[in-house]
Amino acid sequence: MTTEQPDLFAGSAVTPARPNPCDLAESLRRRARRAPARQALSFENRSWTYGELQSRVEHFAAVLAAGGVGRGDRVGWLGFNDPFVLIALFASASLGAIFVPLNFRLARHELEFIIGDAGLHTLIVDDDHRATIVDARAAGTLSCCRRFLRPGADTLDGWDATEPLTPPLAIEPRTSVAGDPAAIMYTSGTTGRPKGVMLTHGNLWANSINWVLAGDLGSSDVVLNCAPLFHVGGLCVTVLPALLAGGHVVLQRAFVPADYLAAIARHRITLSFAVPAMLLAVTQHEDFASTDLSSLRLIIGGGAPVPEPLLRLFNGRGIPMSQGFGMTESSSAVTFLEAERAIDKLGSCGKATLLSEFRLVDAEGVVITEAGIKGEICLRGENVTPGYWNRPEATREAIDAEGWLHSGDVGYCDAEGFLYVCDRLKDMIISGGENIYPAEIENVLYDHPAVFEVAIVGAPDAQWGERVVAFVATRPGHNMTLEELRDFTGQRLARYKLPRELRLIDALPRNSNGKVLKAELRERCATSA
């Protein structure tokens, strides 16, 4: 085990005498003991009961342990949604290891950075993404990884199989305390370098309880998830809460509108999470009008505000919709807007969940109590991260002495205390539920020989919420097209980060201090939309 942050497990060197129910692996173990025959998970044409899921977890924990994974080691996953993501998460937790799901949409050099930053001991990769890791291994950029695994019964090119050992290796499950890290979820940083958000067992437990209470989740619920499990939206809004509550999770490999609709009818789905762009695509599909959606009692929207037409369209089919506000650092939402208030509180993300709290502060840090006054949204609660992996300075900047996480988002409350998010301090763009930071794209474009100066902003987009717009001033004698710009940035960035619009200008607008006036650029986009 590497020891980048030896204080992470301070106070938990000895396994507690009594199992801790907020330990991720222990919670599944107890659920499986309570109702082993209850349906737990379905994927494509296969299903597993809680007893079968727990058995797979125990077997894979033995595989990891046999490969040297122990307390504090990091285990990564790169691939599409798959039951193995959950098996690996719970198996890692049972060893006291830390699970790191990777965004498969990232470019190779982005993945290399994250793998190195996390110091992965073991990396599991599905077949669709194996070529990327094979190339990285050949280039010698993944030296931290001691073992590479692939789901399947065979081995290939020196990759170990993940199938259970025969006979299974007996291991002693390790119980974690609430403050032990269970997962590291990477989020883009404003400087262009991703940051690993540490989510503890206690964070994930509190978040699941928040959603169980907010969404009235129970053992009779059947939840559908097609959002990627490397996001807290995919992993933490419905999947982990449903497993804690004893519900049935229907997992899809990726979002396909026709498959989403078919699954609702086939499995009699009661609850689902999706970003507005997904829901819009569902409503535009030819099967939407004819599909039986009567089993749905709630759709939770996230990643961006749900537009009023979309709310009214689903409401017209008798399907309530809710939404909330949160971030990776809060394990998902810290506020929740009940479906019955979705129309009369249009644009709001609700009030604090029962185990969370928020407040607004002005530029001097003074708490705002008056309705309608904008301030930075600060978060606190058992679901909020203790900090960033290997980033003590970023942790100190984000979390103040009273334990409030400063989100960088600006909002205000109405007279009833409902929160409205209205701006972002850090110029972050949210497109299709993905967080995109302009500095990362700008850093790449400044390497282009034709670019003299560039600014990236978000513009309103009916389908994606926002689209990435590049304002570029070229060097004398040079020109640039959108296709050329996308080809260049696509070599180093994930496709969802690539600009969808290019605007050539003579010079970027700046203030007297030389700072680019991005608000003015956003206004240009808005007025010409």
pLDDT at residue 347 is higher than 90? no
What is the pLDDT at residue 53? 96
Burial of 32 (0-12, 13-18, 19+ CB in 10 A): buried
Could you tell me the end-to-end alpha-carbon distance of the chain, in angstroms, rounded to an integer?
A: 53
Whether the CB-CB separation of 280 and 310 falls below 8 Å is answered with: yes
Q: What average pLDDT does the chain have?
A: 89
Mean pLDDT over 384-392 rounds to 96
What is the pLDDT at residue 193? 78
Amino acid at 15: T
pLDDT category, 194, cuts 50, 70, 90?
Answer: confident
Does CATH place domain 203-384+406-424 in 3.40.50.12780?
yes
Domains 6-177 and 203-384+406-424 share a fold: yes
Q: Which CATH number fits domain 429-527: 3.30.300.30, 3.10.180.10, 3.30.70.260, 3.30.70.270?
A: 3.30.300.30
pLDDT category, 6, cuts 50, 70, 90?
Answer: very low
Whether the CB-CB separation of 31 and 243 falls below 8 Å is answered with: yes
pLDDT at residue 154 is higher than 50? no
Whether the CB-CB separation of 349 and 306 falls below 8 Å is answered with: no
The pLDDT tens digits for 489-515 are 999 999 999 999 999 999 999 864 566
In CATH, what number does 6-177 get?
3.40.50.12780
The more confidently predicted of residues 170 and 329 is 329
- Parse the chain into domains and list their residue ranges: 6-177, 203-384+406-424, 429-527
Please give the backbone phi and psi of residue 51, each rounded to the nearest 5 degrees, phi first.
-65, -40
pLDDT at residue 189 is higher than 60? no
208 three-class SS: helix
pLDDT at residue 17 is higher than 60? no
- Helix, strand, coil percentages in the chain from 3-state DSSP, rounded to 5: 30, 25, 40
The pLDDT tens digits for 263-301 are 999 999 999 999 888 898 899 899 999 999 999 999 999
The number of beta carbons lying within 10 Å of the beta carbon of residue 359 is 17
What is the pLDDT at residue 496? 93
139, two tokens: 């280039």
pTM (two decimals): 0.83
Please tell me the total number of residues recorded for the chain in this structure. 529
What is the pLDDT at residue 101? 98
pLDDT at residue 70 is higher than 90? yes
What is the pLDDT at residue 280? 87
Amino acid at 279: L
24-34 and 201-214 helices, crossing angle to 10°: 50
483 contact partners, CB below 8 Å, separation of at least 6: none
pLDDT category, 151, cuts 50, 70, 90?
Answer: confident
The pLDDT tens digits for 114-139 are 999 999 999 999 999 999 999 999 99
Return the closest-CA partner of residue 434 out of 289, 278, 210: 278
The more confidently predicted of residues 91 and 519 is 91
Question: For 150-164, 243-257, 419-433, which range has the lowest pLDDT when averaged over its residues?
Answer: 150-164
CA distance 416 to 3: 48
Mean pLDDT over 179-200 rounds to 85
What is the pLDDT at residue 422? 80
CA distance 359 to 413: 9
**424 bridge partner residues:** 409
Please give the backbone phi and psi of residue 389, each rounded to the nearest 5 degrees, phi first.
-65, 125
Return the closest-CA partner of residue 157 out of 177, 127, 180, 178: 127
CA distance 308 to 331: 26
What is the pLDDT at residue 361? 96
345, two tokens: 């509180």
The more confidently predicted of residues 169 and 346 is 346
* SS3 sequence of 62-126: HHHHHCCCCCCCEEEEECCCCHHHHHHHHHHHHCCCEEEEECCCCCHHHHHHHHHHHCCCEEEEC
